[in-house]
């Protein structure tokens, strides 16, 4: 409610402002009053500092993405209408990719979460925050980090890239709060912080501060420091008051150094900070700096890769893990058929899969993982799959699945096809850990389970774990992930693959999910909201007996394959119910009576969903939070951060942990700390498997459309064991080793804990203890040393899972780490683009005349030119390479209609350094019949300049309207808008 009032207020305020009724000073005042006010209303622990990082990051990403979408539309000759209120949802819709909203939001959360984590993990490290005048080391972190991001994107390891990007942005943004950049009068970002080849000069080498007068620190930086443009930042010390003579302090309650002369501080972390009067200005510049860095990554990666990094186009992913042993040829043929049918039927529609992932396995081989956006390449990879040899032996199915889980985007629907049991059962807890971390769901297509030739032993019975432990492992993994273990014959497999067609969509949401093992007669109710389409009910069970009743009382029994409600597709143990009645909104009932264990899953397609993470809130000098990479603690309170997807009108009324086996729920009150983000703290966690359920209201200004319910499909667990990794170094060099110390602790009883460590790339691991002995309530340290082979491509990553199992094997926990493998970059200079000639005669009707330009591009001793691209302009580009005096020169010829008089070329070298050159030509007569959508002012400069690196000033290239996300964002953007 608070948010709504404020955003309304903001809009009125904008109107006043655009009418020019307020002077700038009173605007600042106005903003500050409201920022203060909004803070006291916001969630306390995420007080201003971390909200600022979150908001700065989010606004910058949204604004940069608007620019990408606008440029793409322009190139494709489409109109681009920026959304009036910019959110992930509205922007995804404006970019003609409405299904991307969830992935976009998830990626931003990932980046922001890692940004917040820097305040937890590196709270005492000066360089991570530009404290203690550590400008060179801070800049080094940023530029090295950016190279890692670029290398990871190149290898399509987006999750790693997002994490590194979040870390880098934290440090970059802190510069504007902790240094005197703003006090020197700078409004624009300090671009050298993201340019490794530019010097950082003029770092203050003398005293920089005098003591504050009481609490007033506004004049504490010595005048000559600012006027001579000497760079300084505050010293920060938690434990002692030591700092070099005459230096400024960070300031604030936790900084002991600010108690010693010169007293007081200079940070702008929030409005109450020592230099809080500059907080909003500093935040505005930090947004500009964040955009500048994002534009650099965008230029290096290219627009479509940038969008994928932002999770923008990973809408529906087809992911198959396929057994390629001899007996699988029919299955492989069926997967080929389904894939082709999906590809063909969705060609050119928004439902077309955005990515295709394939992992083959047999024994002893598995992999490699193929990940592509090109349906034809995927089809040809599928075509190459050969079912060959391998007798009745079990296969490396879990190793293949491990690759799929670590190599696909989060929340992917993965399909595993096999007719053999798993040989690598030792990976079971690793797979469970990866399922819990990625929230991907795994459906097993188990063929031949009924045949005498079956390589899966056990009969046609739906196995309880005891009666059929061989298939049991697949069932257990399917259930844990919210997928199914579908047992069919080779002949009936084609009837079961409809589930692939149904679920390969990013808008798939889970409404209800439950497992009953042992079986139990039960009534399940669930609510279908008006946004939900293609309602489907999956029941996996042998000989189930059920009745489904719609809100209007229409019902159908399991024995009727076609009935009043719709159709039931029954094959093997798998039932898919597709209701086709028109009136589906309201409460449904499934009445099940079965003597065999069963799972029920209700799904549909909807833009309304939620994302969640367990977090640990950390108080202290920089209140922040860390996203848990392991199971939450048993017998303790846990905190859940929930992000709603679906637009402003989607609000939760209840967040609950639901026991999977009984559907008993644990509810708590919900705290809102940003418009779409909510915190729920649970005093305790269910002892067994549980899921997260959100019930809420959908409302819009036009109409209230009623309640909704959503549930996660992943089953979660708490644990009394914890595994923490102390040094999260984050990167590994090819050919080098990395030693990771970790700690295993327990809040339960002691004994011998089994330790197992695995990684998805078969990197060598040494020094791994096979067990550790803990005392009751105690903890013990261990290490693992991981070595990357020398030929590991830079930009790939390795996912390391460290598991600790309590005595008796009843409980285990894990830490899952993604570590980038990067070769240190030696080429830090951008390629050079020199315009050598321009031919233009743009008079008369622009659509009848042409101009062209030639340029030479060189990277001298660098890593070599990788890509030349037109970032502005609608002409055509031709390139060729010649050897000139031992140097490779890329010759560029650009030709365009005079209606497109400007061009900017972006040049990227193999290391990801970005150079550019631009030119505009004069159009003497403006015409009214311009056929292309060029910018309005076609009459521009005659003195064309070729300038390098202008691309990084994306913020200036695409001045956009203020972004109104929610109130705080609105204020900062508004402020920034006024600065331009
Ligand atoms: C389910 O509901 C029906 C009718 O509402 C009732 O007759 C039946 O006993 C219920 N079954 C269970 C297991 O509660
Ligand atoms: C989903 O429902 C729409 C109509 O609401 C229908 O056109 C479409 O074929 C359905 N898709 C699937 C996969 O069932
Ligand atoms: C949660 O538990 C921790 C210790 O386990 C305690 O310090 C903290 O106060 C608890 N928080 C709440 C909200 O109960």
Burial class (CB in 10 A: 0-12, 13-18, 19+), 219: exposed
CA–centroid distance, 576 to ligand 2, in Å, is 15
Same fold, 613-706 and 721-821: yes
Task: Measure 680 CA to ligand 3 centroid, in angstroms.
Answer: 13
The pLDDT assigned to 968 comes to 45
Q: CB within 6 Å of ligand 1 — which residues?
A: 521-523, 591
Q: Choose which residue among 534, 569, 577, 584 to substitute to test ligand 2 binding: the one with the highest number of ligand atoms within 8 A of its C-beta.
A: 534
> Which ligand ends up closest to the CA of 634?
3
Question: pLDDT digit string (tens) for 624-636?
Answer: 889 998 999 998 9
Ligand 3 atom closest to the Cα of residue 683 is 14
Q: How far is ligand 2, taken at its centre, from the CA of residue 442, in Å?
A: 23
Q: What is the pLDDT of residue 702?
A: 61
Nearest ligand (C-alpha, residue 668): 3
Ligand 1 probe mutation, 520, 522, 523, most atoms within 8 A of CB: 523
Q: Which atom of ligand 2 is nearest to the CA of 502?
A: 13
Q: Which atom of ligand 3 is nearest to the CA of 681?
A: 13
Q: What is the 554 CA–ligand 1 centroid distance (Å)?
A: 16
- Residue 573 alpha carbon to ligand 1 centre in Å: 24
pLDDT(930) > 80: no
Considering every ligand atom shown, identify the ligand nearest to the alpha carbon of residue 555 and give its number: 1
Minimum CA distance residue for ligand 3 atom 8: 637
pLDDT of 730 over the 90 cut = no
Structure tokens at 345: 């039927």
What spacing in Å lies between the alpha carbon of 592 and ligand 1's midpoint?
9
Element (H, E) at 283: helix 279-301
Looking at mean pLDDT, say which of 253-257, 458-462, 833-837 comes out highest: 833-837
Which residue's alpha carbon is nearest to atom 8 within ligand 2? 534
* C-alpha dihedral sign at 457, 458, 460, 463: negative
pLDDT, tens digit, 9 for 90 and up, residues 699-724: 876 666 789 999 999 999 999 999 99
* DSSP code for 127: G
- Please say whether the beta carbons of 610 and 644 come within 8 A: yes
Ligand lying nearest the CA atom of residue 669: 3
Give me the percent of the chain exceeding a pLDDT of 90: 62
- Average pLDDT, stretch 46-57? 64
Write the pLDDT tens digit of every residue in 168-227. 999 999 999 999 999 999 999 999 999 999 999 899 999 999 999 988 999 999 999 999
The CA 774 to ligand 2 mean position distance, Å, reads 55
757-790 pLDDT tens trace: 999 999 999 989 999 999 999 999 999 999 999 9
Please say if the pLDDT value at position 140 is more than 80.
Answer: yes
**Which ligand neighbours the alpha carbon of 524 most closely?**
1
Spell out a b/e string for 251-261, using b for 16 or more CB atoms within 10 Å of the CB, else e.
Answer: bbeebbbbebe
pLDDT at residue 729 in the model: 63
- Residue located nearest, by CA, to atom 8 of ligand 1: 523
In terms of Cβ atoms closer than 10 Å to its own Cβ (0-12, 13-18, 19+), residue 378 is: buried
Q: What average pLDDT does this structure show over 865-891?
A: 91
613-706 sits in which CATH class? Answer: mainly beta
> Which residue's structure tokens are 């020398």?
790
Measured in Å, residue 637 CA sits from the centre of ligand 3 at: 6
Q: Name the closest-CA residue to atom 1, ligand 3.
A: 637
- The answer to whether 331 and 419 are in contact (CB under 8 A) is yes
Whether 748 shows a pLDDT value over 70: the answer reads: yes
Tell me, in angstroms, the distance from the centre of ligand 3 to residue 638's CA: 8
Between 961 and 651, the higher pLDDT residue: 651
| Closest CA to ligand 3's atom 3 | 637
Pocket test for ligand 3, best of 637, 680, 681 (most atoms within 8 A of CB): 637
Q: What is the pLDDT of residue 314?
A: 62
Q: Which CATH fold topology does 832-952 show?
A: Immunoglobulin-like (2.60.40)
pLDDT of 208 reads 96
Kindly provide the b/e burial profile for residues 503-522, where b requires at least 16 CB atoms within 10 angstroms of the residue's own CB.
bbbbbbbbbbbbbbbebeeb
Ligand 2 atom closest to residue 605's alpha carbon, by position in its atom list: 1
Q: Supply the pLDDT for residue 809.
A: 86
How many angstroms is it from 904 CA to the middle of ligand 2? 44
How many angstroms separate the CA atoms of 64 and 82, rounded?
12
| Residue 10 predicted with pLDDT over 60 | no
pTM: 0.88
Query: Strand pairing of 690-699 and 650-659?
Result: antiparallel
Contacting residues for 15 by C-beta, under 8 A, at least 6 apart:
none
Where b means 16+ CB within 10 Å and e means fewer, 109-124 reads bbbbbbbbbbbbbbbe
pLDDT at 121: 87
The span from the CA of 10 to the CA of 963, in Å, is 12
Whole-number Å distance, alpha carbon 534 to ligand 2 midpoint, is: 6
Residues with Cβ within 8 Å of residue 446, at least 6 apart in sequence = 418, 419, 456, 471, 474, 485, 486, 487, 488
Ligand 3, atom 12, residue with closest C-alpha: 637
Structure-block tokens of residue 519: 């079986």
Query: Which protein residues are within 6 Å of ligand 3, measured from CB?
Result: 636-637, 681
How far, rounded to the nearest angstrom, does the alpha carbon of residue 107 sit from its chain's CA centroid? 2
Give the helix/strand (H/E) hosting 570.
Answer: strand 566-571
Cα 288–chain centre separation: 21
Question: Does the pLDDT at position 605 exceed 80?
Answer: yes
The pLDDT score that the predictor gives to residue 240 is 85
Structure tokens at 414: 């993965």
The reply to whether ligand 2 has any atom less than 6 angstroms from the CB of 534 is: yes
Asked if the model's pLDDT at residue 25 lies above 90, the reply is: no
672 versus 556: the higher-pLDDT residue is: 556
Ligand nearest to the CA of 633: 3
| Residue with the larger pLDDT of the pair 30 and 698 | 698
Distance 143 CA to ligand 3 centre (A): 39
Ligand 3 atom nearest to 637, measured from its CA = 1
Nearest CA to ligand 3 atom 6: 637
CA angle 290, 980, 68 (to 5 degrees): 50
379 CB-contact burial (10 Å; exposed 0-12 / middle 13-18 / buried 19+): middle
- Half-sphere exposure (Cβ direction) of 57: Cα atoms closer than 13 Å: 30
The confidence score (pLDDT) of residue 330 equals 87
pLDDT, residue 704, reads: 66
Spatial neighbors of 901 by CB under 8 A, at least 6 apart, are: 842, 846, 851, 920, 921, 922, 923, 934, 938, 940
Query: Of 10-24, 345-359, 941-955, where does mean pLDDT reach its minimum?
Result: 941-955
Provide the mean pLDDT of the chain. 84
Q: Where are the domains of the chain?
A: 2-309, 316-506, 508-606, 613-706, 721-821, 832-952
Q: How many angstroms is it from 825 CA to the middle of ligand 2?
A: 50
928 falls in which pLDDT band (50, 70, 90)?
very low
Mean pLDDT across the stretch 333-341? 88
Query: Ligand 2 pocket, 502 CB below 6 A?
Result: yes
Beta bridge partners of 600: 514, 539
Q: Is 533 in the pocket of ligand 2 (CB under 6 A)?
A: yes
Q: How confident is the model at residue 390 (pLDDT cuts 50, 70, 90)?
A: low
Which ligand 1 atom sits nearest the alpha carbon of residue 591?
1
Residue closest to 603 by CA, chosen among 506, 662, 658, 534: 534
> Does residue 351 carry a pLDDT above 80?
no
Residue 679 pLDDT exceeds 70: yes
Ligand 1 atom nearest the C-alpha of 593 is 13
Give the Å distance between the CA of 548 and the centre of ligand 1.
12
Query: Which range, of 40-54, 209-223, 396-410, 677-691, averages the lowest pLDDT?
Result: 40-54
Judged by average pLDDT, the poorest of 16-20, 545-549, 631-635, 641-645 is 16-20
Question: What would the DSSP string read from start to end of 454-522?
Answer: -BS-S-SSPPPTTT-HHHHHHHHHHHHHT--EEEE-TTTHHHHTHHHHHH--TTEEEEEEEEESS---E
Give the number of whichever ligand sits closest to the CA of residue 591: 1
Class of domain 721-821: mainly beta
525 CA from centroid of ligand 1 (Å): 11
Q: Which of 714, 749, 75, 71 is nearest to 440 (CA)?
A: 714
Number of C-alpha atoms within 13 angstroms, CB side, residue 863?
A: 18
Q: Which of 481, 523, 364, 493 is nearest to 419 (CA)?
A: 493
Residue range 375-393: mean pLDDT, rounded: 82
Class of domain 316-506: alpha beta
Q: Is the peptide bond before 368 cis (omega within 30 degrees of 0)?
A: yes
CATH class of 508-606: mainly beta
Most confident range, picked from 138-152, 299-313, 610-624, 886-900: 138-152
Contact 488, 720 (CB under 8 A): no
């Amino acid at each position: 409610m608070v948010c709504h009032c404020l955003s309304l207020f903001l809009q009125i305020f904008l109107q006043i402002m655009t009418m020019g009724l307020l002077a700038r000073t009173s605007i600042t005042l106005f903003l500050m009053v409201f920022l203060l006010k909004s803070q006291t209303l916001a969630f306390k622990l995420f007080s201003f500092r971390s909200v600022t990082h979150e908001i700065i990051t989010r606004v910058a990403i949204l604004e940069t993405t608007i620019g990408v979408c606008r440029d793409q539309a322009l190139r494709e000759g489409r109109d681009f209408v920026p959304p009036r209120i910019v959110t992930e949802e509205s922007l995804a819709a404006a970019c003609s990719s409405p299904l991307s909203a969830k992935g976009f939001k998830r990626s931003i959360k990932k980046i922001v979460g890692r940004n917040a984590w820097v305040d937890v993990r590196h709270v005492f490290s000066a360089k991570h925050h530009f404290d203690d005048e550590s400008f060179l080391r801070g800049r080094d972190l940023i530029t090295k980090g950016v190279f890692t991001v670029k290398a990871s994107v190149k290898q399509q390891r987006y999750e790693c890239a997002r994490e590194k990007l979040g870390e880098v942005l934290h440090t970059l943004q802190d510069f504007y709060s902790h240094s005197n950049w703003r006090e020197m009068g700078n409004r624009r970002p300090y671009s050298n912080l993201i340019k490794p080849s530019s010097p950082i000069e003029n770092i203050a080498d003398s005293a920089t501060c005098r003591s504050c007068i009481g609490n007033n620190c506004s004049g504490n930086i010595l005048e000559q420091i600012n006027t001579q443009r000497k760079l300084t930042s505050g010293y920060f010390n938690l434990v002692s008051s030591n700092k070099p003579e005459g230096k400024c302090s960070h300031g604030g309650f936790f900084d002991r150094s600010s108690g010693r002369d010169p007293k007081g501080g200079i940070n702008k972390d929030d409005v109450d900070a020592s230099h809080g009067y500059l907080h909003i200005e500093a935040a505005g510049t930090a947004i500009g700096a964040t955009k500048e860095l994002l534009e650099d990554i965008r230029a290096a990666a290219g627009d479509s890769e940038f969008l994928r990094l932002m999770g923008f186009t990973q809408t529906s992913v087809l992911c198959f893990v396929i057994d390629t042993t001899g007996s699988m040829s029919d299955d492989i043929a069926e997967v080929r058929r389904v894939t082709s049918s999906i590809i063909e039927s969705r060609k050119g529609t928004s439902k077309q899969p955005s990515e295709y992932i394939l992992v083959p396995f047999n024994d002893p081989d598995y992999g490699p993982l193929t990940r592509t956006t090109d349906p034809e390449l995927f089809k040809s990879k599928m075509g190459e799959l050969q079912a060959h040899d391998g007798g009745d032996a079990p296969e490396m199915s879990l190793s293949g699945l491990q690759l799929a889980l670590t190599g696909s985007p989060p929340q992917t629907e993965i399909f595993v096809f096999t007719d053999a049991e798993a040989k690598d059962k030792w990976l079971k807890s690793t797979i469970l850990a990866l399922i819990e971390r990625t929230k991907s769901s795994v459906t097993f297509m188990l063929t031949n389970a009924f045949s005498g030739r079956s390589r899966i032993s056990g009969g046609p019975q739906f196995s309880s774990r005891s009666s059929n432990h061989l298939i049991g492992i697949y069932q257990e993994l399917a259930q844990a992930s919210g997928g199914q273990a579908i047992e069919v014959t080779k002949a009936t497999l084609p009837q079961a693959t409809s589930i692939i067609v149904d679920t390969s969509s990013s808008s798939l949401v889970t409404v209800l999910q439950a497992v009953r093992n042992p079986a139990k007669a039960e009534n399940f109710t669930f609510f279908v909201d008006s946004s939900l389409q293609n309602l489907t009910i999956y029941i996996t069970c042998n000989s189930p007996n059920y009745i489904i009743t719609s809100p209007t009382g229409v019902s159908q029994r399991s024995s009727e394959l076609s009935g009043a409600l719709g159709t039931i597709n029954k094959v093997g143990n798998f039932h898919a119910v597709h209701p086709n009645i028109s009136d589906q909104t309201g409460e449904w009932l499934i009445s099940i009576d079965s003597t065999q264990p069963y799972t029920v899953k209700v799904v549909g397609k909807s833009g309304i969903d939620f994302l969640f993470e367990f977090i640990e809130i950390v108080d202290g000098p920089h209140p922040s939070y860390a996203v848990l990479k392991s199971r939450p603690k048993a017998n303790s309170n846990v905190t859940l951060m929930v992000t709603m997807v679906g637009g402003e009108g989607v609000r939760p009324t209840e967040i609950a942990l639901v026991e999977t086996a009984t559907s008993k729920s644990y509810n708590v009150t919900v705290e809102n700390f940003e418009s779409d983000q909510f915190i729920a703290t649970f005093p305790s966690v269910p002892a067994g498997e549980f899921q997260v359920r959100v019930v809420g209201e959908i409302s819009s200004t036009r109409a209230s459309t009623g309640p909704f319910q959503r549930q996660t499909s992943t089953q979660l667990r708490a644990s009394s064991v914890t595994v923490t990794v102390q040094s999260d170094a984050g990167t590994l060099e090819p050919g080098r080793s990395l030693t990771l110390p970790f700690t295993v602790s327990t809040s339960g009883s002691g004994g011998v804990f089994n330790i197992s460590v695995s990684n998805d790339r078969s990197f060598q691991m040494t020094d791994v203890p096979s067990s550790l002995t803990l005392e009751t309530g105690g903890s013990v340290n261990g290490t693992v040393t991981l070595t990357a082979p020398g030929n590991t491509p830079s930009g790939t990553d390795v996912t390391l899972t460290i598991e600790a199992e309590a005595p008796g094997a009843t409980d285990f926990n894990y830490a899952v780490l993604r570590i980038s493998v990067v070769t240190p970059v030696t080429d830090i200079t951008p390629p050079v683009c020199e315009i050598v000639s321009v031919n233009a005669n743009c008079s008369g009707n622009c659509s009848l005349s042409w101009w062209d330009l030639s340029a030479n591009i060189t990277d001298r001793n660098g890593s070599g030119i990788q890509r030349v691209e037109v970032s502005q302009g609608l002409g055509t580009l031709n390139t060729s390479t010649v050897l000139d005096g031992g140097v490779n020169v890329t010759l560029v010829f650009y030709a365009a209609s005079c209606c497109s008089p400007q061009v900017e070329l972006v040049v990227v070298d193999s290391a990801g350094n970005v150079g550019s050159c631009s030119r505009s030509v004069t159009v003497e007569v403006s015409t009214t019949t311009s056929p292309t959508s060029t910018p309005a002012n076609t009459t521009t400069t005659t003195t064309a300049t070729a300038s390098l690196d202008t691309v990084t000033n994306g913020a200036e290239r695409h001045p956009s309207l203020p972004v109104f996300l929610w109130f705080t964002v609105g204020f900062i953007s508004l402020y920034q808008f006024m600065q331009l």
